[in-house]
Amino acid sequence: MKERGSASAVVLILILFLSALFLAASLFLELSLRQLRRSEERDERRRSLLREARRTLQLLLEDPTPLSDSPRDPVWEGIQRPVESGCTVELRDLSSRLGLNWARRELLESLGVLQPGHSAQELQQFREDTGIHLNLKPGFLAFFSEEDLDSLFTAYSYFNINIGDELALRKLHFVRGGDLARAEEFHVAIQQLRIQRQTVESSELEQRIGAENYRLLYPLLNAEPAMNLHFVPASVLRGLFRHYQVPVEKAESILAMRPSTEFGASELEALFGKEAFQKTPLRQYLGVRTWFWQIRVRCGEDGLSWVVARLPGTEGPARLRLLEERFSP
């Protein structure tokens, strides 16, 4: 044995082994903690996005004039001042465009926006074959230019019993109920209403379509005006007035007034003209309430999009329901 002492090789190996083991463990723990921190930071950012979205929703609910939604409502001012720093909020009316899932053939032809070589009848058949669409692209791109599709049409729209395409209403019934025979019965009932030129009012919807159909279809099917006069695109407004042979000057006058005026439901008759209000379905297309809102919040690189639906048929404050929630990235 050596006189001079030296660390045993075994002890050195043990120390080395232990060090490697602890190094690996601490590295792994460090990585786990980093991922956990990232996850916590992500959750915090999400909380900021959600706080802004909820605040916007609250502003919508606190509208002092709940029976009319317009650019003069306090919510528009409120979203300009986000509470969370570095966040921006956008509010968009999603429903004040023509519902491409239900718009009638004649109106689509009359708007003159169909791509050359395509007819409204083809589009009706396309809807019949492919059903109701949530994404209008790419399906409808064959029929319209991308710009028109984005600016004039929407998928976020209720079906109005008085103005919805009858085949689209039959499709809706089938999608909800899964019974083709009953959907066809409903279709025949709608045809009868159209032949008799009867307009169904909101208050009599259940009685007109029967309790069973009402349970199946309401609130998706209702008798509320589909679009909000304050937000409907100018070309759709003009197109509707032209289609129902109402002097387009009235549409121009509405377009001139709407940035500074909040119209009430009782003013629509005066705005459209008595005859147009009573004898055309304009009041089924144009009202003063928005049914679907999109709230978009962006905080730095993170984003949140909410789609909120207003339930129809209420006369008090708006009843809103969150339909979609999407975080990005």
Partner 1 sequence: MRGSKRSPTTPQRPEAGFSFLEILVALLLFSVLGLVLWSGLASAQGLVRKTIQRASLSLQILQLDTGLRQALGRVRVPFWVRAEAAVSQEGSLLAISWLDGYPEKTLTLQLRDGRIRIGEAGAQGSFGPFSGARLRLYRDEAGRPQGVEVSIDRGGETTLLLARFGSNPL
CB of 324 to partner 1, least distance (A): 5
E strands, the chain, in order: 87-93, 98-99, 153-154, 159-160, 221-222, 227-228, 286-287, 292-299, 302-310, 320-328
CB of 26 to partner 1, least distance (A): 10
Binding status of residue 19 toward partner 1 by CB under 8 A: no
Q: Which of 1, 7, 181, 195 binds partner 1 (CB under 8 A)?
A: 1
Q: Which of 175, 180, 234, 270 binds partner 1 (CB under 8 A)?
A: 175
CB of 269 to partner 1, least distance (A): 31
Residues 136-165 that bind partner 1 (CB under 8 A): 155-156
Residue 29 or residue 234: which is nearer to partner 1 going by CB? Answer: 29
298's tokens:
């962006």
Q: Which of 6, 80, 129, 134 binds partner 1 (CB under 8 A)?
A: 134
Binding status of residue 14 toward partner 1 by CB under 8 A: yes
Contact track, partner 1, 89-128, x by CB under 8 A: ----------------------------------------
Query: Residue 135 has what DSSP assignment?
Result: S
> CB under 8 Å to 185, separation ≥6 — which residues?
none
Report phi then psi at 16, rounded to 5. Answer: -60, -45
The C-alpha angle 214, 218, 224, rounded to 5 degrees, equals 115
Q: How far apart are CA 282 and CA 240, in angstroms?
A: 7
Segment contacting partner 1 (CB under 8 A): 57-65, 116-124, 272-280, 319-327?
319-327
Q: How far apart are CA 94 and CA 231, in angstroms?
A: 9
Binding status of residue 131 toward partner 1 by CB under 8 A: yes
Q: Which helix (H) or strand (E) element contains residue 213?
A: helix 211-217
Q: Which of 12, 28, 198, 259 binds partner 1 (CB under 8 A)?
A: 28
Contact 268, 277 (CB under 8 A): yes
Q: What letter represents residue 27's amino acid?
A: L
197's tokens:
């030129």
Segment contacting partner 1 (CB under 8 A): 172-180, 190-198, 227-235, 268-276?
172-180
Query: Which ranges of 178-273 does DSSP label H, i.e. alpha helix?
Result: 180-195, 205-209, 211-217, 234-243, 248-257, 268-272
Residue 35 or residue 207: which is nearer to partner 1 going by CB? Answer: 35
Q: Which helix (H) or strand (E) element contains residue 184?
A: helix 180-195
Residues that bind partner 1 (CB under 8 A): 1, 3, 5, 14, 18, 21-22, 25, 28-29, 31-32, 35-36, 39, 131-132, 134-135, 155-156, 172, 175-176, 178, 219-220, 309, 321-327
